[in-house]
Amino acid sequence: MRLDVQWGGSTGEGWRIAGVGQTHVVAQFHALSAIAGDALVRAFIGVPQKPDWLSDSESARRWFRALKELGGAFQYRQMFHELDENGNKAGTVHTGGIDNIVEVAANLCLTLHRSLPLCSESNNVEGQTRVTNINFNNSQVGFLNSGQIQNVESIAVNVSQLQDSGSNNIAEAIKQLTQAVTASQELQDTDKTIVLEQLEELSKQAVLAPEQRAKSGVLKAIAMGIPTTLAAAGSCAEAWSRWGPVILDFFTR
């Protein structure tokens, strides 16, 4: 699998994941790149001189640009000229790319972790630990389809916002349940999708101000649908018994 890019000319900058036929693999890598792009912003907090690509508004493209600048494997390829209607040169288009992109991305993650580690930080609020991200390893990624990975990506962003606003209990509850679901080999794929979609919606609602949220009865109905689906998965059911009351309390208080 490789990452191709072209820039300049009338089309501007464009990235494409290529070299693999399975669309779900492309979607998975793109979703993980978006998570990595969001993590980059947190990793560079406190760094006085930040690279210009860090300000890119699109998370996945932020990671792609980091791979280009920091991955050490980018290769420049063809350059060609655009012509206007009169046959005159109107702009120059550059192309390039990175081969073996999965390996390059993994190596860059390790390099960045050594220099800019993302660690949990104690915030001394009710003994809670700072929630920085939702962790799931490569084997767990293999259990998820592209839609589920996108759900986890969205949940991770919302969990981070909840922590930043001081809502540590609900952030931790959603984080722990999400990790239990992503790690589960007992849940059917359709059930896993249902629960991750429910957790994503609850995380979105939790970020909103109370007056902007859906009615409490609606939110309670969404939350109460989770244990019904998780009942057949022992580890997930146990996670709900621990963290479910925290979610219900948050939305019904």
Average pLDDT over residues 55-83: 92
Structure confidence by residue, pLDDT tens digits, 214-227: 998 899 999 999 99
Average pLDDT over residues 52-60: 89
How is residue 62 written in tokens? 């932020």
Structure confidence by residue, pLDDT tens digits, 148-162: 877 888 888 888 889
Helical segments of the chain, H only = 23-43, 59-70, 101-115, 138-141, 146-164, 168-183, 189-207, 216-230, 234-252
The band of 115, judged by pLDDT with boundaries at 50, 70 and 90, is confident
User: In sequence order, what are the residues at sequence separation of 6 or more whose Cβ sits closer than 8 angstroms to the Cβ of residue 7?
Assistant: 13, 14, 93, 94
Predicted pLDDT of residue 122 = 37
Q: How far is CA 197 from the centre of its chain?
A: 15
Predicted pLDDT of residue 142 = 46
Predicted pLDDT of residue 83 = 85
d(CA 213, CA 204): 9
Predicted pLDDT of residue 135 = 54
Structure confidence by residue, pLDDT tens digits, 185-234: 888 888 999 999 999 999 999 999 999 999 988 999 999 999 988 887 88
